[in-house]
A = this chain, B = another copy of it.
Amino acid sequence: MSEDLDGADTGAARVTAAVLVIGDEILSGRTKDRNIGYIAEYLTEMGIELAEARVVADDVEAIAEAVNALCARCTYVFTTGGIGPTHDDITADGVARAFGVAVHHDPRAVEILKSFLGDRLNEARLRMARMPVGAELIENAASKAPGWRVENVHVMAGIPSVMQAMLDAVAPTLRTGVKMLSRALAAHDVKEGDLGGPLGEIQARHAGVMIGSYPQFDGGRFLTTVVVRSRSEAALEAASAEVARLIVELGGAAPRSAEEQA
């Protein structure tokens, strides 16, 4: 991985990722996903741009199709869910099908499970060592049973605390791009519809930044948050200054100018 880490220093490349959430329980609404938002924030902070997220069912074909689509277009894919000890945990089969390889019980994973579980290692728990032939293990500091990686696809648990431990283990191995910088400018009592015209003109003058506008209404006050993003600090500052002046012109309070990144 040293080439990849060196690559980070050059900082030239855009590094992208996709998240693939696997699980019927998310699609039925029974469980609310918390992994997409966590991974999005984590990767953005690292200088990796989340380009897409998908949620698919516990279905080998659906998993394989999504893995194929996403791993072709993004630097990295991160999956969550479907690597436990029960019959509905079929992420290994889906990823193996995507790559056209067989699934086996990885001997290193079996050893980890043996040393942790001892006599409790039954056939169901052995499923947690099932992965495509050739996969590399991802350490699981939370509950031992490892995640794994095939090519650019990182397969992690669905339980948020376990997924987070695995992401911590993966992070140092990832190539990172130039970090996206951002400024959020809060325009209190300014409505998005009043801001929209001149904000579009600012966007048109600043091709190197992306300007987004996010309205909220709490029942009493309007709040429009304008988020300016760029990989260039100078471009970010120039556009943000114009947005800040616009907000004051429209009667909003002088916005905070640099309170956050990402």
Contacts and interface: CB of A to CB of B under 8 A. Distances in A.
A25 B227 contact: yes
Interface residues on A, range: 35 or more
29 contacts: A24-B210, A24-B229, A25-B212, A25-B214, A26-B36, A26-B53, A27-B51, A28-B180, A28-B229, A29-B37, A29-B42, A29-B44, A30-B182, A33-B36, A36-B55, A51-B57, A52-B54, A52-B55, A58-B212, A87-B196, A87-B204, A88-B210, A88-B213, A122-B194, A122-B196, A123-B196, A124-B193, A125-B196, A159-B215
A27 to B, nearest CB: 4
Nearest to A81: B214
Nearest to A55: B53
A102 B213 CA distance: 25
A216 B84 CA distance: 12
Interface of A: 24-33, 36-44, 49-58, 62, 84-88, 117, 120, 122-125, 127-128, 143, 159, 180, 182, 184, 192-197, 199-200, 203-204, 210-217, 227, 229, 262
A87 B87 CA distance: 48
Given A24-B229, A27-B52, A29-B44, 17 more contacts: A24-B212, A27-B51, A29-B43, A30-B227, A51-B57, A52-B55, A58-B212, A86-B195, A86-B200, A86-B213, A88-B212, A88-B213, A120-B193, A122-B193, A122-B196, A124-B194, A124-B196
A211 B88 contact: yes
Given A25-B227, A122-B194, A199-B87, A52 B42 contact: no
Contact of A196 (B27, B30, B86, B229): B86
B29 A124 contact: no
Contacts of A197: 122-124
Given A84-B192, A86-B200, A50 B62 contact: no
Contacts of A143: 217
A217 B161 CA distance: 10
A42 B32 CA distance: 13
B51 A54 contact: no
A38 B43 CA distance: 25
Contact of A30 (B28, B204, B262): B262
Contacts of A204: 87
A95 to B, nearest CB: 17
